[in-house]
Amino acid sequence: MKKLPIYTFFIILLFSYSLNASNENLYKKLNTFGDVFETIRSNYVSDVDEEDVIEAAINGMLQSLDPHSSYMDLENYRDMQEQTDGKFGGLGIEVTSESGYVKIISPIDGTPGAKAGVEPGDYITHIDDENIFGLSLTESVDKLRGLVGTTVKLKIVREGEDEPLEISITRAIITVEAVKFRREGNVGYIKLISFSEQADRGIKKAINNLQTEIGTDKLIGYILDLRNNPGGLLGQSISVTNNFLNSGEIVSTKGRDKSNIGSFKATKGDLTKNKPIIVLINRGSASASEIVAGALQDHKRAIIIGEQSYGKGSVQTVFPLNDKSAIRLTTALYYTPSGDSIHKIGITPDIEVLKSKDPDNKIDNQLEYALNLLTKDQIVK
């Protein structure tokens, strides 16, 4: 049996959809889309890959909604699944699209991007000397990917810098350890790097080990470091927050579909035994990080120190498709317990402490401030 060309299937799809479309203008637009596709196929200066053209159209449709909705082909979908598992290849940077360029949400600590000096808020304008203005986020991300061990050259525009910066980064297999911890005197320091599937388990381990090492009676309090944490799984943000609360709402979500409307509440069992907590945030703290910081701030369970966070208050749901590709679609906005949306706003710290801009200053002034606040017993329980 002779296979029908792909455009025939596409026209059939348009026709079947139009039968159910009550809006005449929509019907005309769908017909126009089919006309454009056929014109490209017949008249473009060189042969085109018809499937690539349709995938580009799908991605353009999603990207027109917001920077966080996108199409993932089989390879990109697989990469996304590896990231939530905590292991993937690449540069170790979380990105979005803004003003026609790629904007850095956050470099993940310990990855090639962070070691090379990429900072939250940076704009990538060129990849390997190619101007990426106008490319979709998926197209730009594809250019950032490559074989492990190869180097990519980025041209970056950074606020406060007169001239663009050129940064070279060597791609690597990245295994993100979700949680790192250590004692700072009698203070427990916990660095939460990403909200992968390992996050809640890592937080529980950190709290337990710090209580054993320092001693519950001697332990003054905890510093939860969420700086440059780009977020991750919504469920993990809820579980992590639950470790520090005994009751109350953690976060609520509101979307068009009833399945995306909900409220998530804490259950009894503050693992820190009500010890004082300081949370560190910065411009690279986004999404799930902001859920944790916002909940602990609203319940007056922690003092938030640092800089205004990124402001990504939307929830993306992944919908697998029949051909094993998928779409990532924004389906809800989330709200802090006080009812505030942080979308495009961010979490405002209780105490603003800007990162020192002295390149020769190796002291982490934000962490030092938090330690001094805890050890001087200035926190009221």
Evaluate if residue 7 carries a pLDDT over 80. no
CB-count exposure of residue 349 (10 Å: 0-12, 13-18, 19+):
buried
- Active-site residues, by number, are 287, 298, 312
Mean pLDDT, residues 169-193:
92
Percent of the chain having pLDDT more than 90?
A: 61
Sign of CA dihedral 123, 129, 132, 138: negative
- CA terminus-to-terminus distance, the chain: 76
C-alpha angle 314-320-321 in degrees, rounded to nearest 5: 130
Over range 337-360, report the average pLDDT.
89
User: Is the pLDDT at 166 greater than 80, yes or no?
Assistant: yes
CATH 3.90.226.10 assigned to domain 179-375? The reply is yes
Please compute, for residue 170, the number of CA atoms within 13 A of its CA located in the half-sphere on the CB side. 3
pLDDT category of residue 260 using cuts at 50, 70 and 90: confident
Reference 7, options 46, 55, 56, 41; nearest CA is 41
What are the pLDDT digits (tens) for 131-162?
Answer: 999 888 888 988 998 888 899 999 999 998 99
In which region does residue 237 sit, left (phi positive, over 0), alpha (psi from -120 to 50) or beta (all else)?
Answer: alpha
Q: Is the pLDDT score of 176 beyond 90?
A: no
Q: What is the pLDDT of residue 82?
A: 67
- Decide which of 175 and 222 is more confident: 222
- Cα 267 to Cα 185, 241, 243: the distances in Å are 30, 10, 9
pLDDT (0 to 100) of residue 30: 83
- Which of 97-101, 134-138, 264-268, 304-308 bottoms out in mean pLDDT, i.e. has the lowest? 134-138
**∠ CA(293), CA(297), CA(298), 5° rounding?**
120
The candidate with the shortest Cα–Cα distance to 40, out of 48, 31, 30, is 48
As a whole number of angstroms, the distance between CA 381 and CA 379 comes to 6
In sequence order, what are the beta bridge partners of 175?
Answer: 87
Closest CA to 355 of 345, 370, 342, 341: 370
Helices 137-144, 74-85: crossing angle, 10 deg rounding: 70
Q: To which residue do tokens 């802090």 refer?
A: 336
What average pLDDT does the chain have? 88
pTM of the model: 0.78
Strands 172-175 and 165-170: unpaired
pLDDT tops 90 at residue 292? yes
Encode pLDDT of 31-44 as tens digits: 898 899 999 999 99
Residue 264's pLDDT is 95
- Residue 58's contacts (CB-CB under 8 Å, 6 or more residues apart) are 71, 327
Q: Are strands 101-107 and 123-127 parallel, antiparallel or unpaired?
A: antiparallel
- One of 3.40.50.300, 3.40.50.2000, 2.30.42.10, 3.40.50.620 is the CATH number of 70-85+87-175, namely 2.30.42.10
- Could you report the per-residue pLDDT of 43-74, keeping only the tens digit for each? 999 999 998 888 888 888 898 898 889 898 88
- Is the predicted pLDDT of residue 380 greater than 50, yes or no? no
User: What is the DSSP code (8-state) at residue 355?
Assistant: P
Question: What pLDDT was estimated at residue 22?
Answer: 58
Residue 2 has pLDDT above 50, yes or no: no
Q: What pLDDT is stored for residue 76 in this prediction?
A: 80
Report the pLDDT value the prediction gives residue 379, as an integer from 0 to 100: 53
Predicted local confidence at residue 100, as pLDDT: 87
Q: Are 229 and 284 in contact (CB under 8 A)?
A: yes
Angle between helices 50-63 and 24-43 (to 10 degrees): 140
